[in-house]
Amino acid sequence: MNILMIEDDKELCDAVSFRLEQEGFSITACHDGEEGLYYMQESPFDLVILDRMLPHMNGIEVLKEARTRQIRTPILMLTALGELDDRLTGLNGGADDYMVKPFAFEELLARIRCLLRRPAVYQDSVKSISLGDVSFVPETRTLSSWEKTCTLSSREGELMEVFLRNPGQTLPRQLLLSRVWGLEADVEEGNLDNYIHFLRRRLKTVESTLQIRTVRGVGYQLEVFQ
Protein backbone atom coordinates (compact mmCIF):
# COMPACT_ATOMS: atom_id res chain seq x y z
CA MET A 1 0.00 0.00 0.00
CA ASN A 2 1.29 3.46 -0.95
CA ILE A 3 0.86 6.28 1.57
CA LEU A 4 1.58 9.98 1.08
CA MET A 5 2.49 11.85 4.28
CA ILE A 6 2.28 15.66 4.19
CA GLU A 7 3.84 16.92 7.43
CA ASP A 8 6.08 19.94 8.04
CA ASP A 9 7.60 18.53 11.25
CA LYS A 10 10.41 16.61 9.56
CA GLU A 11 11.44 14.68 12.68
CA LEU A 12 7.88 13.47 13.26
CA CYS A 13 7.48 12.73 9.56
CA ASP A 14 10.67 10.65 9.47
CA ALA A 15 9.73 8.78 12.66
CA VAL A 16 6.21 7.89 11.49
CA SER A 17 7.42 7.03 7.99
CA PHE A 18 10.02 4.66 9.44
CA ARG A 19 7.47 2.88 11.63
CA LEU A 20 4.99 2.55 8.76
CA GLU A 21 7.66 1.17 6.45
CA GLN A 22 8.41 -1.45 9.11
CA GLU A 23 4.72 -2.41 8.85
CA GLY A 24 5.11 -2.97 5.12
CA PHE A 25 3.81 0.34 3.73
CA SER A 26 5.53 2.37 1.01
CA ILE A 27 5.82 6.00 2.12
CA THR A 28 6.25 9.20 0.13
CA ALA A 29 6.84 12.25 2.35
CA CYS A 30 6.73 15.98 1.69
CA HIS A 31 6.65 19.03 3.92
CA ASP A 32 4.42 21.74 2.42
CA GLY A 33 0.87 21.96 1.16
CA GLU A 34 1.49 22.91 -2.47
CA GLU A 35 3.93 20.06 -2.97
CA GLY A 36 1.55 17.66 -1.27
CA LEU A 37 -1.33 18.65 -3.55
CA TYR A 38 0.93 18.15 -6.57
CA TYR A 39 1.81 14.63 -5.43
CA MET A 40 -1.85 13.81 -4.79
CA GLN A 41 -2.80 14.80 -8.30
CA GLU A 42 0.16 13.25 -10.11
CA SER A 43 0.57 9.89 -8.36
CA PRO A 44 -1.84 7.16 -7.24
CA PHE A 45 -1.88 6.71 -3.45
CA ASP A 46 -3.99 4.43 -1.29
CA LEU A 47 -4.05 6.92 1.61
CA VAL A 48 -2.92 10.43 2.51
CA ILE A 49 -1.86 11.51 6.01
CA LEU A 50 -2.31 15.29 6.09
CA ASP A 51 -1.14 17.81 8.68
CA ARG A 52 -3.20 20.96 9.12
CA MET A 53 -0.56 23.62 9.82
CA LEU A 54 1.52 23.61 6.62
CA PRO A 55 3.52 26.23 4.70
CA HIS A 56 2.28 27.61 1.34
CA MET A 57 -1.14 25.92 1.64
CA ASN A 58 -2.61 24.81 4.95
CA GLY A 59 -4.13 21.36 5.36
CA ILE A 60 -7.73 22.52 5.01
CA GLU A 61 -6.93 24.31 1.76
CA VAL A 62 -5.15 21.20 0.44
CA LEU A 63 -8.10 19.05 1.49
CA LYS A 64 -10.76 21.21 -0.15
CA GLU A 65 -8.74 21.69 -3.34
CA ALA A 66 -8.12 17.96 -3.61
CA ARG A 67 -11.83 17.21 -3.34
CA THR A 68 -12.62 19.98 -5.84
CA ARG A 69 -10.26 18.28 -8.29
CA GLN A 70 -12.13 14.99 -7.78
CA ILE A 71 -9.25 13.34 -5.89
CA ARG A 72 -11.05 10.64 -3.87
CA THR A 73 -8.07 9.15 -2.05
CA PRO A 74 -8.85 8.57 1.66
CA ILE A 75 -7.37 11.39 3.77
CA LEU A 76 -6.53 11.14 7.46
CA MET A 77 -5.84 14.51 9.06
CA LEU A 78 -3.15 14.33 11.75
CA THR A 79 -2.91 17.62 13.64
CA ALA A 80 -2.42 19.34 16.97
CA LEU A 81 -5.70 21.25 16.52
CA GLY A 82 -8.18 19.13 18.42
CA GLU A 83 -11.10 21.34 19.40
CA LEU A 84 -14.56 20.29 18.27
CA ASP A 85 -14.73 23.10 15.69
CA ASP A 86 -11.35 22.01 14.30
CA ARG A 87 -12.51 18.43 13.92
CA LEU A 88 -15.77 19.48 12.28
CA THR A 89 -13.94 21.77 9.85
CA GLY A 90 -11.67 18.92 8.79
CA LEU A 91 -14.37 16.28 8.48
CA ASN A 92 -16.83 18.62 6.74
CA GLY A 93 -14.03 19.71 4.40
CA GLY A 94 -13.66 16.16 3.09
CA ALA A 95 -11.36 14.32 5.51
CA ASP A 96 -12.16 10.65 6.08
CA ASP A 97 -10.73 10.65 9.60
CA TYR A 98 -9.25 13.18 12.03
CA MET A 99 -6.60 12.34 14.64
CA VAL A 100 -5.09 14.70 17.21
CA LYS A 101 -1.42 14.96 18.20
CA PRO A 102 0.15 13.65 20.38
CA PHE A 103 -0.96 10.16 19.44
CA ALA A 104 -0.06 6.53 19.96
CA PHE A 105 1.40 4.93 16.86
CA GLU A 106 -0.71 1.82 17.43
CA GLU A 107 -3.90 3.89 17.16
CA LEU A 108 -2.66 5.61 14.01
CA LEU A 109 -1.88 2.21 12.49
CA ALA A 110 -5.34 0.91 13.41
CA ARG A 111 -7.03 3.93 11.82
CA ILE A 112 -4.95 3.56 8.66
CA ARG A 113 -5.89 -0.10 8.33
CA CYS A 114 -9.54 0.76 8.94
CA LEU A 115 -9.54 3.34 6.12
CA LEU A 116 -7.74 0.96 3.76
CA ARG A 117 -10.39 -1.72 4.36
CA ARG A 118 -13.10 0.55 2.97
CA PRO A 119 -14.15 -0.16 -0.62
CA ALA A 120 -12.40 2.01 -3.18
CA VAL A 121 -14.42 4.74 -4.87
CA TYR A 122 -14.13 4.27 -8.60
CA GLN A 123 -14.55 7.21 -10.93
CA ASP A 124 -15.04 5.29 -14.16
CA SER A 125 -18.27 7.16 -14.83
CA VAL A 126 -16.42 10.49 -14.75
CA LYS A 127 -14.72 10.36 -18.13
CA SER A 128 -14.62 14.04 -19.03
CA ILE A 129 -13.44 17.32 -17.56
CA SER A 130 -15.86 20.20 -17.94
CA LEU A 131 -15.03 23.88 -17.52
CA GLY A 132 -17.01 26.85 -18.77
CA ASP A 133 -18.32 25.94 -22.22
CA VAL A 134 -15.74 23.19 -22.81
CA SER A 135 -15.74 19.44 -22.24
CA PHE A 136 -12.54 17.41 -22.60
CA VAL A 137 -12.15 13.63 -22.57
CA PRO A 138 -8.51 12.78 -21.70
CA GLU A 139 -8.77 9.16 -22.84
CA THR A 140 -9.69 10.13 -26.41
CA ARG A 141 -8.22 13.66 -26.24
CA THR A 142 -11.52 15.02 -27.55
CA LEU A 143 -12.28 18.71 -27.00
CA SER A 144 -15.89 19.85 -27.42
CA SER A 145 -17.82 23.11 -27.17
CA TRP A 146 -21.10 24.31 -28.72
CA GLU A 147 -21.55 21.02 -30.62
CA LYS A 148 -18.15 21.47 -32.25
CA THR A 149 -15.44 18.88 -31.62
CA CYS A 150 -11.77 18.38 -32.40
CA THR A 151 -9.13 15.82 -31.41
CA LEU A 152 -5.90 16.93 -29.79
CA SER A 153 -2.46 15.38 -30.13
CA SER A 154 -1.04 13.50 -27.15
CA ARG A 155 1.08 16.45 -26.01
CA GLU A 156 -1.73 18.93 -26.60
CA GLY A 157 -4.06 16.76 -24.58
CA GLU A 158 -1.69 16.56 -21.60
CA LEU A 159 -1.20 20.32 -21.63
CA MET A 160 -4.92 21.01 -21.98
CA GLU A 161 -5.67 18.74 -19.02
CA VAL A 162 -3.21 20.65 -16.82
CA PHE A 163 -4.92 23.94 -17.68
CA LEU A 164 -8.45 22.59 -17.19
CA ARG A 165 -7.54 21.19 -13.76
CA ASN A 166 -6.03 24.52 -12.67
CA PRO A 167 -8.40 27.22 -14.01
CA GLY A 168 -7.55 30.81 -13.19
CA GLN A 169 -4.15 29.90 -11.76
CA THR A 170 -0.94 31.33 -13.17
CA LEU A 171 1.09 28.27 -14.13
CA PRO A 172 4.84 28.89 -14.36
CA ARG A 173 6.58 27.81 -17.54
CA GLN A 174 8.85 25.37 -15.70
CA LEU A 175 5.86 23.72 -14.02
CA LEU A 176 4.14 23.19 -17.37
CA LEU A 177 7.33 21.79 -18.90
CA SER A 178 7.84 19.35 -16.02
CA ARG A 179 4.17 18.24 -15.99
CA VAL A 180 3.94 17.60 -19.73
CA TRP A 181 7.49 16.78 -20.86
CA GLY A 182 8.87 15.41 -17.56
CA LEU A 183 11.38 16.67 -15.01
CA GLU A 184 14.42 15.28 -16.83
CA ALA A 185 13.36 16.10 -20.39
CA ASP A 186 15.78 18.12 -22.50
CA VAL A 187 13.24 20.43 -24.11
CA GLU A 188 13.47 24.06 -25.17
CA GLU A 189 10.98 26.56 -23.76
CA GLY A 190 10.07 27.50 -27.31
CA ASN A 191 8.34 24.13 -27.62
CA LEU A 192 5.95 25.16 -24.87
CA ASP A 193 5.15 28.40 -26.71
CA ASN A 194 4.39 26.41 -29.85
CA TYR A 195 1.97 24.12 -28.04
CA ILE A 196 0.26 27.07 -26.34
CA HIS A 197 -0.30 28.44 -29.85
CA PHE A 198 -1.75 25.08 -30.92
CA LEU A 199 -4.13 25.00 -27.93
CA ARG A 200 -5.35 28.53 -28.63
CA ARG A 201 -6.18 27.42 -32.18
CA ARG A 202 -8.01 24.36 -30.84
CA LEU A 203 -10.13 26.49 -28.50
CA LYS A 204 -10.90 28.82 -31.39
CA THR A 205 -11.86 25.85 -33.59
CA VAL A 206 -14.57 24.74 -31.15
CA GLU A 207 -15.61 28.40 -30.59
CA SER A 208 -14.92 28.29 -26.86
CA THR A 209 -14.78 31.43 -24.75
CA LEU A 210 -11.87 30.01 -22.72
CA GLN A 211 -8.62 31.85 -23.30
CA ILE A 212 -5.01 31.06 -22.44
CA ARG A 213 -3.43 34.30 -21.29
CA THR A 214 0.31 34.98 -21.26
CA VAL A 215 1.61 36.17 -17.88
CA ARG A 216 4.83 37.92 -18.85
CA GLY A 217 7.93 36.65 -17.15
CA VAL A 218 6.01 33.87 -15.39
CA GLY A 219 3.93 31.55 -17.56
CA TYR A 220 0.32 31.11 -18.66
CA GLN A 221 -3.18 31.25 -17.20
CA LEU A 222 -6.46 29.75 -18.42
CA GLU A 223 -9.20 32.37 -18.14
CA VAL A 224 -12.85 31.42 -17.86
CA PHE A 225 -15.45 33.97 -18.93
CA GLN A 226 -18.97 33.48 -17.57
Q: With H, G, I as helix, E, B as strand and everything else as coil, classify residue 115.
A: helix
Nearest-angstrom CA–CA distance, 10 and 31: 7
Q: How confident is the model at residue 163 (pLDDT cuts 50, 70, 90)?
A: very high
CB atoms within 10 A of CB 20: 21
Residues 2-50 have pLDDT tens digits of 899 999 999 999 999 999 999 999 999 999 999 999 888 877 788 999 9
More confident residue, 220 or 71: 220
Query: In this predicted model, what pLDDT tens digit does every residue of 59-112 receive, in sequence order?
Result: 999 998 888 877 888 999 988 887 888 788 888 888 899 988 888 999 999 999
pLDDT at 123: 43
pLDDT attached to residue 190: 86
Residues 46, 116: contact at Cβ < 8 Å? yes
* Burial class of 73 by CB neighbour count within 10 A (0 to 12, 13 to 18, 19+): buried
Confidence tier at 119 by pLDDT (50, 70, 90)? low
Residue 28 neighbours by CB under 8 Å, 6+ apart:
2, 3, 4, 5, 39, 43, 45
Q: Is the pLDDT of residue 158 over 80?
A: yes
How high does pLDDT run on average in the chain?
86
Task: Count CB-CB contacts under 10 A for residue 134.
Answer: 22
pLDDT band at residue 126 under the 50/70/90 scheme: very low
| Cβ atoms 185, 177 nearer than 8 A | yes
**pTM exceeds cut of 0.95:** no
Specify whether the CB–CB gap between 48 and 6 falls below 8 A: yes
Say how many CA atoms lie within 13 Å of 135 toward its Cβ: 10
What confidence score (pLDDT) does residue 124 get? 41
Q: Is pLDDT at 187 greater than 80 in this prediction?
A: no
Least confidently predicted of 18-32, 166-180, 202-216: 166-180
Q: Quick check: 49 and 74 in contact, CB under 8 A?
A: no
Tell me 222's DSSP state. Answer: E
Question: pLDDT value at position 122?
Answer: 42
